[in-house]
Structure 1
């Protein structure tokens, strides 16, 4: 936008000749980066690109589901050891927002199919073990029943020995646990079901859903009260104790939950109305993606996923599941010194942006403050995919850490857009306040000082208006014109802000 000023006395404000364009709605102008497919290892990148083309969906969708699929294979079975004293879990939470009819289900099916097959393979392999354990438990229970009857009918001379035998039989029953059928993932489930499955399966579970109704469940739409504990502790690996009425308590020492969800954009907007989600830190745990909608520009007959690409993806992801499934003490993915340096550099880049007063990310400090840890998790997942046979035998490299940084920078931009939608950015809220004042009073021009006088209840000082005014100018709602220099002494005149003609009563 250009402004042409006519020569006027210093104490007059004359409307300049401004070349106005149509103003852009606040919060809708952020240009979001595309999903960085090249940051993924080759076989993973090939599948993401091929599925995106075959389904005519943005690569962000299969890309995020691919990361969740690798997290399903690795989560709870490995830790990222960035440096001494810093171990990071490697499970992640992802959510992709796309409108209806975006072909989310075919993408989920293509990206999670190897997990489903691996789950069936593990179940078939464990079936004889489970049946043998069940038979042994039945025999132990029969022996216990017999011992209890004997203890109840024994005379005084033999009662002590009978009770001891019954006690041994009872302990034998407790030791004869029947292992559950292997379970890697679930769809939308309640927090109580998630806790039970985590307890049954060594603290490991993935919730992969193309519908994302789990947010309604978490908000208590069906139970009447929100329950976020499992999903909060399942991300950080904190001790989870679950008490049940009429059932033994469940203890999960290091829960590792993976979430891979897609939702409609309206669900993202709804999240902001559930204060508990933000206040507890749940929203800060997600890696967000707001891809460009491809509906309306999709090809009618796109090429299918090449067979060799799908076969390689299937083989390597299933192999990763099998390689790590039996680990109880987690495998350690140690970071090289060079990889650690990448994360140190990322920390130094992010930290100033979190400053409560001066930081540009202060309004999303809960999310942005986790960036370095999330990058470490992503690096561990990329490392596992790159070295899918025995990833614990070699350190995470600098290149892998750089690729993870590329991914976290993508997620950071999308997170900013999400939290803007949630009204978390005070600059956007303040810009709306100023714009409402302009609209209601049909303001033609103003200075920062006059705006502050009118809006003193909303802004503690005049300088608080600066980011809001800059945002309004950036979006074309106002134009700032610096006054001509007087060349004399004294305080310079304040810049004049002129409002778009749509707000002028005489120019509508």
Structure 2
């Protein structure tokens, strides 16, 4: 149902269609570029669930990235090295079965987590016994020193040496058994990476819980964005608190993310000034395909199909399960990951450089990506990360030229998708303000607005910022809703009249 403002403008006789955004372009996810393991698994999941292929592709690639990120980094030339971590944003209408798709794509990971939890619980009695024995030995050592009459320098040195040796034998606490989290703040991410495994996945089929949760409150969102941006880049993360035991620095940690949201939430996210200004959204690979609702008819054998018995899915699941059971390359002293570097070399590097240059050329004013430089500037690096994940999952010895080519096919899709989503969010937000300002002029100012009256405009609309009001008036002028009817001494417009 149209809102009251739109109805009022229509009754006034103005052409409300001038506010509309261009319809969604026909973007089809290039699922074949995911290759024989991930691509075929995504097709199988999409067919079994009857969900858009892009949703299945996002879920499968995100799961594979989470599994790969602790084991490999990607290198280009002698100096460029990056994690392979990736952030995904999937936009899907309610009823598009995003939860069902994600559940199947993540099944190897959730099964592995369940196994880890069971192992920790089974070993709990043994751990408690080992800890009790250690504490008894530790206390016995201290008590022996207290009983000794000689507390001289040599005795203290001997005690210190014994205690150091005992500390090295202290039974380690079991790590947090899961790597999937849903609604963390920066403190939660830090604590999980400190007390759990050094690799983590922020995955949620209801991403509004993250974007609208505690981690994105006014007090926390800046810290959460900064920490996630640092982890995306492979940088260390720090936490400073008055209590020194809660402070520290973590190095060699990895985070991937896949957040699924509905279109109305996506529009708010993509028009958020902080997300845009901090370059946070530029790190996300965005997918929004058209719904399949109304075409998902069942056949005689539809309900008897079992995705877990489909060979393509079994190959995918087996590969991820094997990697999940592979010991992590962790430094015993620092707990940091020490992943091996998969280099893009020779022909593959030449292909990557060509793709980089093509994108960079379109960043010029008037170029295809000029309005989305933040995303485009990271696109070639993200392509390198994707190429490495594809090669790693496919058990290739090196990153081949074909991996890079396929990665850039995917990047072209993501750039096109991001360009449309950002433009849609920009224009819809601007149109929303323009509609309300136009109605305010008509109902509160008699159809004429003077710059002296800016202070009368509702703080809810523009917080009384003259620059924002003038921008919106220019937009209304461009759309043919107002005319400038008076200019000031310096030539700037000072009065606007609604076109009747």
User: TM-score when scaled to structure 2?
Assistant: 0.74
Partners of 2:133 and 2:206 in 1: how far apart?
45
Counterpart CA distance in 2 for 1:340 and 1:233 is: 26
5 Å-filtered alignment, 1:95-134, equals 95-121=89-115
- Paired residue for 1:330? 339
Shift of 1:408: 0.7
- Residue of structure 2 equivalent to 1:352: 361
Which residue of structure 2 lines up, in the alignment, with residue 281 of structure 1?
279
Asked whether the 8 Å contact 2:98–2:205 carries over to 1, the reply is yes
- After superposition, the Cα gap between the structure-2 partners of 1:410 and 1:224, relative to the gap in structure 1 and judged at 3 Å, is closer
Distance in 1 (CA, whole Å) between partners of 2:102 and 2:339 is 28
Give how far 1:272 is off. 4.3
* C-alpha distance 295-334 of structure 1, shift in aligned 2 (>3 A): same
1:196 pairs with 2:205: no
Aligned to 1:341: 350
Say if 1:79 and 1:89, in contact at 8 Å, map to a contact too.
yes
Determine which of 154, 167, 172 is the counterpart of 2:160: 167
Q: Tell whether the 8 Å contact from 2:202 to 2:258 is kept in structure 1 after alignment.
A: yes
SS of equivalent to 1:188: coil
Residues 375-414 of structure 1 aligned to structure 2 (within 5 Å): 375-387=383-395, 391=396, 394-414=397-417
> Across the two proteins, how many residue pairs are aligned to each other?
428
In the other structure, the counterpart of 1:44 is 38
Deviation at 1:86, TM superposition (A): 1.1
Cα 1:432–1:354 change in 2 (3 A) is farther
Q: Which runs of no fewer than 5 residues in structure 2 stay unpaired?
A: 1-15, 331-336, 443-469, 482-497
Post-superposition Cα deviations, 1:276-321, rounded to whole Å, max 9, x if no partner, equal 2222221111111111112232223546335323322211221232
Residue 326 and residue 347 in structure 1: after superposition, are their counterparts in 2 closer, same or farther (change >3 A)?
Answer: closer
Matches of 1:273 and 1:431, distance apart in 2: 12
Pair 54,458 (structure 1): closer, same or farther in 2 beyond 3 Å: same
Distance 1:407 1:225 in 2: 30
Give the C-alpha shift of residue 129 in structure 1.
Answer: 8.0
**Cα separation, partners in 2 of 1:360 and 1:197, compared to 1, 3 Å:** same
Cα distance in 2, alignment partners of residues 320 and 352 from structure 1? 38
Contact 1:289–1:411, Cα closer than 8 Å, also in 2 = yes
Shift of the alpha carbon at 1:202? 4.9
Could you report, residue by residue, the CA deviation over 1:28-65 in whole angstroms, capped at 9, with x for unpaired residues? 33414211111112132222112112212101111001
> Is 1:311 aligned to residue 314 of structure 2?
yes
Query: C-alpha distance in 1, partners of 2:140/2:157?
Result: 13
Say if 2:74 and 2:81, in contact at 8 Å, map to a contact too.
yes
- Post-superposition shift, 1:132? 6.1
| Matched-pair contact (CA < 8 Å) for 1:137–1:173 | no
1:25 and 1:255 map into 2 onto residues whose CA distance is 46
> Of the candidates 233, 236, 240, which is equivalent to residue 236 of structure 1?
233
Higher Cα Rg, which structure: 1
Paired residues of 2:183 and 2:215 also in contact (CA < 8 A):
no
Gaps of 5+ in 1: 1-21, 442-456, 479-502
RMSD over aligned CA atoms reads 3.9
Q: 1 or 2, which has the higher helix percentage?
A: 2
How big is the shift at 1:127? 7.5
| DSSP 3-state at the match of 1:241 | strand
1:338, distance to aligned residue in structure 2 (A): 1.4
> 1:363, 1:424 within 8 Å by CA — same for their partners in 2?
no
CA distance 1:359–1:307, change in 2 (3 Å): closer
Conserved in 1, the CA contact under 8 Å of 2:112 and 2:321? yes
Match of 1:487 in 2: none
* TM-score, normalising length: structure 1: 0.73
